[in-house]
Amino acid sequence: MNLRVIFNGLALLLLFATAAALISLQPSLLWTTERNHWWLAAGLMTAYAVISWWWVRRSRTPAINHTGMSAQTVLVVHASQTGTATALAQQTVQTLRSSGVAAELCPIGELHSDTLQNAARSLWIVSTTGEGDAPDEALAFLQTLEQPLQFAGNHTYALLALGDRSYTQFCAFGQRVAQWLDASGARAARPWIAVDNLDPEALEQWQPVLRQFGAHEAGSMKTTRAPFVYGQLMQRELLNPGSLGGEAHRIRLGTELALPSWQAGDIVQVAVLDEQGALPAPDAAASQWREYSIASIEQDGAIELLVRLMHDSAGRPGAMSGLLCRHWPIGARMALRIRSNPSFHLPQDNASPLILIGNGTGIAGLRSLLRERIRRGGGPMWLLFGERQRDHDAFFSEELQAYADAGTLQHLDVTFSRDGDGEYVWQRLQSRAAQLQSWIEQGATLMVCGSRASMATDVDRILRDLLGSTTVDDLARTGRYRRDVY
Ligand SMILES: Cc1cc2nc3c(=O)[nH]c(=O)nc-3n(C[C@H](O)[C@H](O)[C@H](O)COP(=O)(O)OP(=O)(O)OC[C@H]3O[C@@H](n4cnc5c(N)ncnc54)[C@H](O)[C@@H]3O)c2cc1C
Ligand SMILES: Cc1cc2nc3c(=O)[nH]c(=O)nc-3n(C[C@H](O)[C@H](O)[C@H](O)COP(=O)(O)O)c2cc1C
């Protein structure tokens, strides 16, 4: 039973108790024999029931407005983690509309199975994230995927799956959606297209699809990737000497020319220069660079990272973390570029509460969000952060405590799993269930950063236990549950 049910039950009991107390205070018989009073009471009760029903329905109805959509409208569905699939879906809609074809852009999380069942045609642009996982905006759709649909009539679809072959589960989510559409009896206009690292040749295959769906002129789909720039290792500091965990280094990077722009929550991609000292091409394979959450904001004047030294099974340092944490001398040159991470930017509404949850190097992404919110003078914040040992792994502890003392951080919960009273961050969240519920009711946004396997999965499970899966899916769909997990 989730907390919402318990609280609603308690509120109901309280109302009954109050009613009972008021009845006992009545000087005369409560029950009226006047017919008009009965009609008035019945009318009020009916109005109350209708308004409640409308309110519940309204809060469950997907935000997207499909009214006025004919069965011939092409639904253009996108599932994206970092925005590429969304951008391609927008171009798809524009291309169709400029040929007079009715097309509707539809984020997958807002796609209702009724809408899809009644549509005759759909185009899907679907990315894979994590390790073969669905993007966060598709969380609410996973339940629909569990069973085939029954289309009202013939349904034709085509699907473009974005992915990267350097991951073991290449385009796994796109493939899953295509298989589900096939199992639902939809007809594939052509087999689903797998796009490796935005390969232009694979993207070209979308053009005949657009023509098949009625576009007269289908130009190439444009994806823009920022060029790499020359970066420099400015500073390195080991933050956790003696820790049971891997070394974690605070790294400061600069650039030879002006620093690139970024927003709190963005990622930096770091690559090695080639033997001639040249930068990688913008479309270099993803295996050539590594991603790191940026821990600083532009006003800090440098790109700060928190990098854990990784090792392979033979104990050799990881290719990039080895360079950043050990081998590169201060002043070493490398290539870097910013990857915008729109699904992990601060919410537009600066005043609503913010709950930041993370572990390990995940504090990097959370720190940039914290610093930006403080700079903007935003609403209340609560940070839950977990590491191993208080004596070694309390990253940025002085800074965080200073925010808490100044009241800019309303709640600071730091847990250490390997100390005597060891606790994981999800356990702390569980023991703060009432506070969580209350913040969510006040419109809080949840932002989670750090390890997918050893933190984010448990946090997600506890959130679903405490708030209910429907609420968590709704939070993800409406941008109030944002994650940067790896
Ligand atoms: C969005 C995003 C944000 C990230 N932010 C950070 C960050 O802020 N700080 C940070 O330290 N890292 C972060 N990472 C991880 C980072 O990109 C690299 O994967 C990591 O530094 C290892 O790279 P490497 O070249 O040193 O190791 P590799 O040479 O690629 O691999 C070395 C060994 O490490 C293992 N390994 C590689 N990556 C991981 C991993 N993520 N978890 C567990 N084992 C792994 C491999 O299996 C291998 O055995 C982030 C990753 C992503 C996708
Ligand atoms: C953290 C992370 C995990 C990823 N995991 C996978 C994966 O498991 N399989 C895959 O094929 N591609 C994977 N990719 C590659 C993305 O699918 C690819 O970069 C895609 O173009 C991103 O599109 P988006 O911007 O719409 O999210 C991953 C990318 C990132 C950054």
Ligand 1 atom 9 nearest Cα: 307
Residues with pLDDT less than 50, the chain? 1-2, 58-65
* C-alpha distances out from residue 369 to 136, 381, 395, 441, 469, Å: 19, 10, 16, 22, 26
**Is any ligand 1 atom within 6 A of the Cβ of residue 453?**
no
**Is any ligand 1 atom within 6 A of the Cβ of residue 307?**
yes
Torsion region of 43: left, alpha or beta (phi above 0 gives left; psi -120 to 50 gives alpha): alpha
The alpha helices in 122-205, defined as continuous H runs, are 142-145, 172-183, 200-204
pLDDT at 4: 52
pLDDT at 30: 54
pLDDT at 415: 96
**Is any ligand 1 atom within 6 A of the Cβ of residue 321?**
yes
Neighbours of 70 (CB within 10 A): 9
Q: Specify the ligand 2 atom closest to the Cα of 198.
A: 21
pLDDT at 5: 56
Which-ligand-closest: CA of 161? 2
**Is any ligand 1 atom within 6 A of the Cβ of residue 320?**
yes
| 142 neighbors 111 (Cβ within 8 angstroms) | no
For a ligand 2 pocket test, name from 82, 129, 196 the mutation site with the most ligand atoms within 8 angstroms of its C-beta: 129
| 162 neighbors 175 (Cβ within 8 angstroms) | no
Query: What are the tens digits of pLDDT across the range 405-454?
Result: 999 999 999 999 988 778 999 999 999 999 999 999 999 999 999 999 98
Ligand 2 atom 9 nearest Cα: 170
Q: Specify the ligand 1 atom closest to the Cα of 310.
A: 34
pLDDT at 213: 96
Ligand 2 atom 5 nearest Cα: 129
Interval between CA 77 and ligand 1 midpoint (Å): 31
**Is any ligand 1 atom within 6 A of the Cβ of residue 332?**
no
**Separation between Cα atoms, residue 481 and residue 445, nearest integer Å:** 6
Ligand 2 atom 31 nearest Cα: 129
Q: Specify the ligand 2 atom closest to the Cα of 286.
A: 19
**Is any ligand 1 atom within 6 A of the Cβ of residue 183?**
no
Please give the domain boundaries of the chain with CATH numbers for all domains.
Answer: 74-212 (3.40.50.360), 229-340 (2.40.30.10), 345-485 (3.40.50.80)
**Separation between Cα atoms, residue 76 and residue 96, nearest integer Å:** 10
Neighbours of 35 (CB within 10 A): 8
pLDDT at 163: 97
**Is any ligand 1 atom within 6 A of the Cβ of residue 358?**
no
pLDDT at 61: 41
For a ligand 1 pocket test, name from 167, 292, 311, 363 the mutation site with the most ligand atoms within 8 angstroms of its C-beta: 292
Residues in the ligand 2 pocket, defined by CB under 6 Å: 80-85, 127-132, 135, 162-164, 167, 169-172, 198, 486
Interval between CA 168 and ligand 1 midpoint (Å): 15
